[in-house]
Amino acid sequence: MSGTPARVLRSLGRAQGVVVAVLVFAGLMLLNALLSPFPLSYFDISFLSSGGATTAIAAAGQTLVILSGGFDLSAGAVVSLVNAVLASSMSPTDMDAPVVLWTAIGIGIGAAVGAVNGFFVAVLRLQPIVVTLAVMFIVQGITLLILDTPGGFVAPSLGAVFLGDAVPGLLPAPVALIGVLILLWLWLKRTSFGVTLYAIGSDVESARATGLRVRAVTFLTYMLAGGLYGLAGVFVSAQTGSGDPLVGNALLLPTFAAVVIGGTRLGGGKGGIVGTIFGAYILMIVVNLLLSLNVSAYFSTIAESAVLLLAVLAGSLSRSSTLSLRLRDLSDSLRARRAGRLVGQRARQDRRLAFTRPAERIDAPGILQSHGHTLRYALPSYACLALVLIVTQLLLGNVFDGWRYWDSLLVLSCFLIVLALGQGAVILTGGLDLSLPWTIALSGMLLTGLVAGQDSGLWTAVPLVLAVAALIGLTNGLGVVALGLSPIVVTLAMNGILQGAALLWSGGTPAGFAPPSLRWLMTGEIAGVTPIIFVMVAFVAAAILLLGRTAFGRRIYAVGNSEMAARLSGVRTGRVIVSVYILSALCAALVGILLAGFSGQASLGMGDDYLLPSIAVVVVGGALITGGRGHFAGMVGGALLLTAMQTLLAGTALPFAFRSVFFGLVILAAVIALRE
Amino acid sequence: MKNAFLAGSVCAAALVAGAAMAQDEPYDIYLSMSYIGNDWQAEAQNMVRALAESSDYADRVNLRIQVAGPNAQRQIQQINAMVQAGADAIVVYPISPTALNTVVKSACDRGVTIIAYDGEITEPCAYNVTIDQTEAGRVTAEWLAEELGGEGDIVVITGVPGTSVDTARTAAAMEVFEGHEGINVVGEAVGMWSQAVARTELSRLMATRDWSDIDGLWMQVGCYTANAMQIEAGIAPEDVLPCAGEGSNGGRIQMLPADTAVEGGAMPYAPMGAPRISYASPPYSGALALKLAVDILDGAEVPKLTTLPLPIVTSETIQLCETGSWEEQRDGCNAFQPSLVANPGWFASIFSEELPQLGLNAALVGQAEN
């Protein structure tokens, strides 16, 4: 292990993320101990260790998937499923149920779901984020079929083993369990499986070209991750002694936060489970700190976001990090400007070399030739849409014999269509915007609060709301470009900050309501057509032109295909990336305004239901989650498809559980149709 | 109980000294909320805060409010941290009725009083303050069945699937509807207890049918929105469908006779004589839980389960408040001027016989009556 000091330093540098996570954790523990009036007892340690264990175990699974370059949205749903299965099938009279058997059952269920994910991702090569999104809906539905309300029974024997003491008075069982996981991981990392996992995450094409077993390892990764979610589900069951069909769903975002705090790179190839586990415990200890410091309720999401940002930032600081690169760039260009050597300072004159000449003209390509690629990815969503429409007509009628259905469909889709432009542009550059929910809510609340129900107020309120949104987008963009943080971290933290801001601004009760003209736009009519539909037609046309025909649009695709290549071709990639986040925030603000008009007022949680659909719409519409591919027309098709599907399901008397399953199946079908 | 004993002896000492104070140090009481990103939670928080700051309680209670978010794991951790920090009592809005049992048990074992509001904690040592959700579902469904004369096609909008409150209410209502041969549930959607979601879901339901195809609605939240949508669809205010649903102020104002004069508000946030039954999980339950926690710490006998009176308001009992003071509400008013309550989705069931400290301002801005 030991070597020259340089080698030790190098390996420490490589493990910077983990080291920082451990240091932050230790610092927070110390701070907590200092603030607490009582010394930390064994009991407290035991309780702390069990409190964070579920998140830690689930996040460990998530780490594997992220290391392979994937993304698993089904993690929380699997935890709920295992909890529901255990709680509903254990016999209430059997106090000493066999722990090993039930643990194996839990892990097995998780691994089975993981195998489904793995099959679609590894064998059919579908995009992980949509596959796991669809599986998440399906699993949530199945969970509700098994257990439709909190209840059931989990034998105390499980709790005794998982929450008891491995060594009484010295080693709590959760710590031992996590220790075993870490040891297994350290072993796994050194096997050929582990090496292949990192290779796939670093560069899947090279890994394949080198002859590594990419497909088998990816499949196994998802299965292993599923098994870990299953174990987390068993742990929750042991901890709570009963079942709750929703218990795991809220774990999804914390697992991502834990992974990134632990120093694992989103996109794969770098990081590991040890850091993640500390990341998970940092998230839990923050709860205690907020209590000790008596941070008020409205500030809690802001404080948590700050911890997330600082921890990730600290983990990424180094001479080669983006932040220091940017600072160096800045000082270089300042120096160049002072010396008069900056490119922009040179006289503007044609410097083309004399022997260059215009390129030879080639024949204009045929329509199919130039648009075939777009059609290939945009059409499936429309094909699925047609199918859903036909089924709706057969089951419910009123689709093809009147305008009413179409009017509702278009009005309800308009929110997703607008979001698809912003989220779509961000995804085209290879990013992701998770700050949509509270950008929507804050914008809606600002608008209704400022206009106080008067049309005349719109003239000042709308520009102001859009300006605030632009500022939000700018901050997101700068966080990504200047600080070099992962878009997921920046926008997740922004979402928390905005939630706090919205609560502080409204005092918990959003004031005012939408002015009459805005309500008319969303619910009135011009010759039987809701006015917003005309606006949407113009919006879609403008958006297609923006992404497809302008220099800005071309640059977005260029950045998404290869940021490096785009930069070397003279695209100011930083500006492009910042602009797409601004565009996304503006679109979210527009949705906030439209939703306020639609509902007549704003409410705090009004944006919550739009985050996952906004991503689903973009991907179902044919975009590649890693960026560079996708057409807005396809995304519009995706928005219409999702809305038509929800309309169909709402019209039937099917229980919610089945609807969730169907919804997942349709998303899955749509992405299978997109398969290369 | 140690605390009861302490309180008793302090009380005796105080009597000797002739002071009115029953304790020399305020109780440390913690509030663990779940998610605060919706109107109901924010309102409940305002009322708890108002009670703690009212002159009756300001010197007696040291209240600290913390938020756990939607994640049960965090609430478990939070409650334990509160116990460690030396809480005398913990008031909880439970994220899950079952997931907290173990931590609540261990808190009880360490002598901490745990009292839950709105949702229930099934661990026997915890105190619960709630309404009878089954009763709520049954009474409202029966009202609707009666209003329709036992015949008609209805639409049902439920709450958050997988929660015990939603399951209890919906199951009870469905049982009533099944008992009436003539009542058919023609559409069912998930409303998530939000006016905004109710609007989206109703728009979807109405995409394939006409308002004239249905005869009534049973919704957990959304009657205000349903009435607004009918007005938009050109239906006259006197013809809106009977709706059994939530206790939002917008819905209450709509229930007032059409000729009632109100300050502020505009159609559809206006009186229209809508046929309604309005009920809600009252947002004052958190404040009441705080009061009971103090009572318990004082040594009073408090039953483990406090079932709040079901705040039912029908078109017959609806009455407009002028200022919204506690006295005025005690005299029977139950809807607030739109000029005072700008948000029609705001929950209006804020009156409790036992909490004279809390009027309209407590729920709106967290300010007690005294």
| pLDDT greater than 80 at residue B23 | no
Shortest distance between the Cα of A304 and any Cα of chain B, in A, equals 11
A646 touches chain B (CB under 8 A): yes
Residue numbers of A between 495 and 524 with CB closer than 8 Å to B? 499, 503, 506-513, 516, 523-524
* Type of residue found at A243: G
Contact B73 A512 (CB under 8 A): no
For residue B212, name the pLDDT band (cuts at 50, 70, 90): very high
Between CA B127 and CA B115 the distance in angstroms is: 4
Catalogue all structural domains in chain B, each as residue range(s) with its CATH number: 2-131+283-310+353-365 (3.40.50.2300), 133-278 (3.40.50.2300)
Please tell me if residue B245 touches chain A, with a CB cutoff of 8 Å.
no
Tens of pLDDT along B219-257? 999 999 999 999 988 899 989 999 999 889 999 999 999
**CB-based contact, A401 to chain B, within 8 Å:** no
Mean local confidence (pLDDT), B108-132: 93
In tens, the pLDDT along B134-150 reads: 999 999 999 999 999 99
Whole-complex ipTM = 0.86
Hey, where are the domains in chain A? 19-316, 413-616+624-639
Encoded tokens for A357: 């000449």
Q: Does B67 touch chain A (CB under 8 A)?
A: yes
Crossing angle of helices A551-561 and A404-428, rounded to 10°: 60
Phi and psi based region of residue A628 (left: phi greater than 0; alpha: psi -120 to 50; beta: remaining): left
How far is the CA of A507 from the CAs of A10, B347, B357, B364, in angstroms?
Answer: 50, 15, 20, 9
Q: For residue A587, what are the contacts with CB-CB under 8 A and spacing of at least 6?
A: A418, A419, A421, A422, A423
CB atoms under 10 Å from CB of B317, counted, come to 12
With CB atoms and an 8 Å threshold, state whether A513 touches B190: no
Q: CB of A254 within 8 Å of any CB in chain B?
A: yes
Instruction: State the CB neighbour count (10 A cutoff) for residue A341.
Output: 11
Could you report the average pLDDT of every consecutive run of 10 residues in chain A (676 residues)? Answer: 65 77 90 80 85 94 95 94 95 87 97 97 90 95 94 90 87 95 95 94 92 94 98 94 90 89 86 94 88 83 87 78 84 88 76 68 75 83 92 88 90 96 94 94 93 87 97 96 88 93 83 86 90 96 94 94 90 94 98 93 86 90 86 94 90 84 88 77
pLDDT at B17 over 70: no
Would you tell me which residues 143-172 of chain B have a C-beta closer than 8 angstroms to some C-beta of chain A?
158, 160-164, 167-168
* A516-554 core/surface letters (b: 16 or more CB in 10 A; e: else): eebbbbbbeeeeeebbbbeebeebbeebbebbeeeeebe
How far does Cα A490 stand from its chain's mean position? 11
Find tokens 């780490």 and name the residue.
Answer: A63
**Is any Cβ of chain B less than 8 angstroms from the Cβ of A57?**
no
- DSSP class of residue B238 equals G
pLDDT band per the 50, 70, 90 thresholds, residue B124? very high
Which of B45, B161, B194 lies closest to A656 in CB terms?
Answer: B161
The whole-number pLDDT of residue A3 equals 53
CB A250 within 8 A of CB A236: no
Provide the 8-state DSSP code for A243.
B
Q: How far is B18 from chain A (nearest CA, A)?
A: 33
Q: Which residue matches tokens 């001027």?
A: B337
Q: Which residues pair with B65 in a beta bridge?
A: B31
- Read off the pLDDT band of B292 (50, 70, 90): very high
- Search chain B and give the residue with CA nearest A454: B266
Alpha-carbon distance of B33 to B65, in angstroms, equals 7
A204 near B CB under 8 A? no
Contact (CB<8Å) B99/A599: no
Q: Which residues of B touch A663 (CB under 8 A)?
A: none
**Spatial CB neighbours of A228, under 8 Å, sequence gap ≥ 6:** A57, A58, A60, A61, A64, A110
- Do residues A501 and A609 touch, judged by C-beta distance below 8 A? no
Please provide the CATH number assigned to the domain covering A19-316: 1.10.3470
pLDDT, one tens digit per residue, over B345-367 is: 889 999 999 999 999 999 988 89
The encoded tokens of residue A14 equal: 């490589």
Q: Residue B299 and residue B293: Cα distance in Å, rounded?
A: 10
pLDDT at A277 (0 to 100): 96
Q: Beta strand pairing status for B127-130 and B89-92? A: unpaired
Say yes or no: A34 contacts chain B, CB-CB below 8 A: no
Mean pLDDT of chain B: 88
How much is the average pLDDT of B59-82? 89
SS3 sequence of A282-331: HHHHHHHHHHHCCCCHHHHHHHHHHHHHHHHHHHHCCCCCHHHHHHHHHH
